[in-house]
A and B are shown apart, each in its own frame.
Chain A
Amino acid sequence: MRGAQIVVDALEREGVEVVFGYPGGAVLDIFDQINRSKKVRFILTRHEQGATHMADGYARTTGKPGVVLVTSGPGATNTITGLATAYMDSVPMVCISGQVPTAVIGNDAFQEADTSGISRPVTKHNYLVKTVAELPRVLKEAFYIANSGRPGPVLIDLPKDVQQAVLKDYSYPKKIEMTTYKPTYEGNPRQIKRAAEVIEKATRPLLYCGGGVVRALAHEEVLALAERCEIPVTTTLLGLGSFPETHPLSLHMLGMHGTQYANHAMHECDCLIAVGARFDDRVTGKLAEFAPNCRANIIHIDIDPTSISKNVPVTVPIVGDCKRVLTQLLEVIKPKKHSEWLAQVAEWKKQYPLRYKKDDELRPQFVVEKIYEVTKGEAIITTEVGQNQMWAAHYYLYTKPRTFVSSGGLGTMGYGFPAAIGAQVAHPDKIVIDIAGDGSIQMNIQETATAVLNNLPVIVCILNNRYLGMVRQWQEMFYGRNYSAVDLGRPMDEKGRPTDGLPDDVPPYVPDFVKLAEAYGALGRRITRKEDVVPAIEWAIKARRPVFLEFLVTREENVFPMIPAGASVKQMIGGLT
């Protein structure tokens, strides 16, 4: 069998249903095979970055590795942002890139790039395959590494001559034989016992859940532990969906833009159970003042030993799969009541709810709230990056894992739309909505063609403030309102007339998202009044076609509460705008 055939055979054997990518000279041999496959569907994107985020959205909503196929040089370099995004958020992915023939590697050949070198720091592992003999093993290992232990992207750089070379006696390996890579899944029983003791002694325990709970689908175990021991639960951005936000024990998200009650609870708790979270700086703020009352009682469950005690020293480290470790813990831990603590937490929740100004203006928070109400929380929500992302986190209540999809670690603008397309490929019958900003959506808007041509009815809700809103907010708060390079619109006078002297046929909002959607064959609607929000969302859901809903929202809305970067909970800014 030839190398290219081996690749496609491996994809089929690994159960890959869909590959996202873009062709070019150095992968022609694989493209010559992939469209003959009866099992693998290939989706042609409009940019390789789009392909990686689609694979990512597919992976985050299914738990299966997303697969990407691109050419050498620019094709491969275009995947770097997507690989880095997946790497930061532990998303399983296998990216196959073509490479120039082995004989000319290093000669600055046409479309040559040192792809394995460039991708090394943003992948869990990568390979440059030099002979066809090693190809079957590399493919097998790549899929295994991508989706075991702490998941992550794996890149296979495949020179053209290796794709063309013939391997006699090909058989796909059945077993993995890797002596150097053996993730730990089971928790150490002694540590589990210690954890149980620490929790049983606590009077103000708190569960802090991250993306690891979602990846491991440990949500039921979290719920069981929380209920059995009366422990309130806060989650990180990536942890949204790991605990039902409609549950009385939910404290919603914590951290820089977390709820006040979650951050208060973190400050006051005397025992912290961190599950699949990594004490990221957006969560902890100033480390020295982070969670001062639980420092002697921190339990940290994580599959990645490097995440444990990296930023915050922990008392009981437990390396293992969140689901298994929690199951082990549930076997030994006794029920406990914490009525005083829960009363305190409930009081904070009542005292400091998330809030925004309720008036006649069309505010972005209102739009998100309505998306939640209309979809009854049953949609898959993806987000772009910025204020839109935070409002999507605040005003939609997530109750199930894999329903909130967002670039947390890298904060990649342009992620949400292709990720939504990938999620829709995996879940054709679900409502998939990208909550977008007007800036971010333009970073991968070309994928509208992919959505339209593949009949993927993704709904993009653009919260259009004509600003790079989150950056504007920082400039307002920390740079004396010196707005520099954040205005995406045309300069206007008080009466809303453009003052830039451009021709009359330049639309007031650039681009005109409604026309843009229509140009691609998608549907578009602009919403300017509160009362039109619900009908627009209902219309978009009924359409079962790609739709852009452009909400012209209040321009200078801020995301609150906020703990400024590097500050502590005491410096939290809570109020209304």
Chain B
Amino acid sequence: MEHVISCLVENKSGVLSRVAGLFSGRGYNIDTLCVAPTQDANVSRMTIVCRGDDRIIEQITKQLNKLIDVIKVIDMTAEEHVERELVLIKVACTAATRADIIQLVNVFRARIIDVDLKTLTVEVVGDARKVEALIELMRSFGIRELVRTGRVAILRG
């Protein structure tokens, strides 16, 4: 099963490689990883999306907790939380398809952020379901480039 693990770490050099090394060294897969400082500049948050059965996820959270630079680990999947991802899609367009693309973008409350004769660049923010759905729809027009931030998540309340 897919899990979203949120990890508060000390904001210093080497921490990312410790976390990444833990995953590669123990054969766990990271689907997405997103790192940036929090409201406290000394602390960063890593949001890690990974897959595994309960035993593996338990090991991952325990192993993360064991790293000296890790402050706190929360498996968001078990809690009420909100997830978002930002995706930039450069999609091929012609005079004939432009209007269709723009219409879809509007339905998804996404935005066109760059326009070119042969492409449109779309920005979409949302949870996994929403962004995946738009990406799927854009495929039929021809995706030239796709850039994803990976997911971030926050607990409700």
Contact = CB atoms under 8 A, between A and B. Distances in A.
Residue from the set A124, A178, A306, A310 with the largest chain B CB neighbour count within 10 Å: A306
Interface string B91-112: 0000000000000000000000
B84 to A, nearest CB: 27
B62 A306 contact: yes
A501 B137 CA distance: 78
B14 A145 contact: no
Given A178-B68, A180-B68, A309-B58, 14 more contacts: A117-B17, A120-B14, A120-B21, A124-B68, A125-B68, A128-B13, A145-B68, A180-B71, A181-B68, A304-B66, A305-B62, A306-B63, A309-B55, A310-B59
B123 interface: no
B76 interface: no
B106 to A, nearest CB: 46
Given A116-B14, A121-B25, A305 B65 contact: yes
Interface in A78-117: 116-117
Interface in A272-300: none
B29 to A, nearest CB: 18
B19 to A, nearest CB: 11
Nearest to B13: A128
B66 A305 contact: yes
A121 B58 CA distance: 20
Contacts of B18: 120
Nearest to A183: B66
B127 interface: no
B11 to A, nearest CB: 12
Nearest to A125: B68
A179 interface: yes
B70 interface: yes
A458 B70 CA distance: 43
Interface of B: 10, 13-14, 17-18, 21, 25, 55, 58-59, 62-63, 65-66, 68-71
A179 to B, nearest CB: 7
B143 to A, nearest CB: 36
Interface string A157-186: 000000000000000000000111100000
Contacts of B63: 306
Contact of A179 (B21, B25, B71): B71
10 contacts: A121-B21, A125-B68, A179-B71, A180-B68, A305-B62, A305-B66, A306-B62, A306-B63, A309-B55, A310-B59
B20 to A, nearest CB: 10
Nearest to A308: B62
A181 B70 CA distance: 8
Nearest to A179: B71
Nearest to A180: B71
B66 A306 contact: yes
Contacts of A310: 59
Given A120-B17, A121-B21, A128-B14, A306 B68 contact: no
A309 to B, nearest CB: 7
B58 to A, nearest CB: 7
B63 to A, nearest CB: 5
A117 B71 CA distance: 21
B93 to A, nearest CB: 44
Nearest to A306: B62
Contacts of A309: 55, 58
A179 B55 CA distance: 27
Contacts of B25: 121
Given A306-B62, A306-B63, A309-B55, A180 B10 contact: yes
Contacts of B66: 304-306
B7 to A, nearest CB: 11
A310 B66 CA distance: 14
A311 to B, nearest CB: 9
A121 B17 CA distance: 10
Contacts of A121: 21, 25
A490 B14 CA distance: 50
B62 to A, nearest CB: 4
A128 B69 CA distance: 14
Nearest to B22: A121
Interface in A164-223: 178-181
A310 B59 CA distance: 7
A59 to B, nearest CB: 19
Nearest to A122: B25
Contacts of A120: 14, 17-18, 21
Residue of B13, B68, B69, B70 with highest tally of chain A CB at under 10 A: B68
Contacts of A124: 68
Nearest to A117: B17
A313 B69 CA distance: 28
A117 B24 CA distance: 14
A528 to B, nearest CB: 47
A179 B68 CA distance: 9
B58 A180 contact: no
A125 B25 CA distance: 15
Contacts of B70: 180
Contacts of A313: 55
A230 B71 CA distance: 43
A309 B71 CA distance: 23
Nearest to A178: B68
A575 to B, nearest CB: 37
Nearest to A145: B68
A306 B59 contact: yes
B66 to A, nearest CB: 6
